[in-house]
Each structure stands twice: as structure tokens, then as C-alpha cells.
Structure 1
Amino acid sequence: MLDLIASLLADKELDCRLDHPITEARAAFNRAIAEKKTGPIKRLLVEDAVLVTGTDSGVISGRDAQVEVWRADFAQAGRFVYVRTPRCVLPSEEEPIVTELGTWVGKPEKADGSEVRGDYTAKWREVEGKWKLEAEIFTTVKSRDALAL
């Protein structure tokens, strides 16, 4: 799916790039997930941030609600660690906002060969000189269960 989106973007000659400050913000979010730290996650979200989950399209509305979901996730035994990898960053020519397109993968903290992966899109906004997430939509495209191998 992401290849299709990328080819459509190329046809429109949009400025699809990775040399933007949100790539470092995304890396900080990934580190926070890996290190089980909710503080950095909270700082990267606007107050009314929205997340749509990849498999069941559950909606998590608000920064505090998202932080609570991460806090509960970090406490679980056998939790998955998620890494989001930007593939395309599209700055707006009109507003201090950016669209990020990428892929994500989740693997158990204690590797067992299982994984889940997919595509995502995110909307970032510059707020007082810092880039913050306003919205993320995830799509699960593949999962591999170690027991099924």
C-alpha cells in the first residue's frame, strides 16, 4: 500500500523527503516506547491528539488517554515493542503542519519470531517551536505468529 501512495505522490511531484525535524521527533517517540517512558510520549502529543489503531480501528482520543494506554502497555508481560519508520515527510506550504507516511512493526519484547506490521500516516503541527503529533492512523497489513511457523 505504501508503495502505491509513494508512486501517487511522485506523480504529483510533491516534496517527499526525510530531512525534516519530525524524523527526530519520531525517533524520540520510538525510543520512549522501547524504554517504557511515558513522559517523552506526553511531550510529543497535542492535548487533543487522536490515534486510530491498526487492526480494530479503535479510537484513542486525547493525550492523557494515549499516555494511559502506553502506561498499561508498558506494564504488560509479553508486550510488543513498536517501531515506526518514516518513509515520506510532506510539509504543508500553507500551515506549520506536516504529513508523515511510514511503516510500523511490532515485535515481542522477548523475541519469539512473532511480529505485526503495517503502514501509518501521521499529522504533525509545530507548536511553540516544537513538532507535536495531532493524529495517527495505523493499518495492520501482516502478522506472523511464531507458533504458526
Structure 2
Amino acid sequence: MTELAIRARRAAFNRAIAEGDAAAIAPLLAKDCVMVTGSDSAVIAGRMAQVKVWKREFAHAGRLVYVRTPESVTLSPVEPIAMEHGRWQGTEAGSDTPLASGTYAAKWRDVAGAWVIEAEVFVTMT
């Protein structure tokens, strides 16, 4: 059930990106979350900073739509945390041709019954 909950939250994140809905991303992130981007290793710290970056991204014509596909979700037996590993790809909005892709890892935490992302690291491979 817990792995399914995390996978459902990831699907919600993918949907929010596809729809350009930055407000829907906020509840999926821990307040002090950290993201390390795939190409330049920029660090985006904090929920509000990430939402701001997504709003900027969504405002661009020809923006990329990112899809993260989990390959595994491993639950900690000692803490309310989990590690997700998977593949990501970015396609131009309205296209099916990937312009960038790679791998990622995400650390999730159960906070008051809701799984939120504490950290994500992306690596661009193509």
C-alpha cells in the first residue's frame, strides 16, 4: 500500500507538470526539499523555490514536459522514508520526441499520512 501511495504521488507530480499546474506540485514537496538538476547540478532548495522555478518553466512557449517513471521504490524498515529510483525524460510540449533524458533518485517521507519528496537528484544521460 505504501509503495502504491508513493507511485500515486509521482503520477500526480507528472500530471501537474503535463498540465502546467505549479500549485498542484507544492503539496507533493516537503517544506525544506532539495532538488539537484540533471545537467548543470543547480540546487533548488525549498518548496517555494521549486514552485517558483516550475511557474517560470510553465510560462515558456515550447517548454519541456518532464515525465519521471519509477523503476523501484524501496521502503525503509526503520523510518517513515522511502527511496525511489527511475528514469526521466523531457519532451517539448505537444511532441512525443524526447529532447533530454536520464536517471533520478528521490527520497520520500511520510509526514502526517502524506508522502512528500525531501530530495531529488537528476542525471542527464542523453
Residues 52-63 of structure 1 aligned to structure 2 (within 5 Å):
52-63=36-47
What is the TM-score normalised by the length of structure 1? 0.81
CA distance in 2 between partners of 1:29 and 1:114 (Å): 19
Structure 2 unaligned regions, length at least 5: none
Specify the SS of the correspondent of 2:32.
strand
- Mapped pair 1:68 → 2:62: no
Residues 90-129 of structure 1 aligned to structure 2 (within 5 Å):
90-111=74-95, 113-129=97-113
Structure 1's consecutive aligned runs of 4 or more residues displaced over 6 angstroms after TM superposition are: none
How far the C-alpha of 1:39 sits from its partner, in A, is 1.6
Structure 1 unaligned regions, length at least 5: 1-17, 143-149
How far the C-alpha of 1:122 sits from its partner, in A, is 0.2
How far the C-alpha of 1:19 sits from its partner, in A, is 4.4
CA distance in 2 between partners of 1:21 and 1:98 (Å): 11
Deviations 1:26-55 (A, max 9, x none): 000000000111122000001100000000
The share of aligned pairs that are identical, in percent, is 52
Of Structure 1 and Structure 2, which has the larger fraction of its residues in strand? 2
Deviations 1:66-97 (A, max 9, x none): 00000000000110000000000000011000
RMSD: 1.4
- 8 Å CA contact 1:121–1:137 kept in 2: the answer is yes
What is the TM-score normalised by the length of structure 2? 0.95
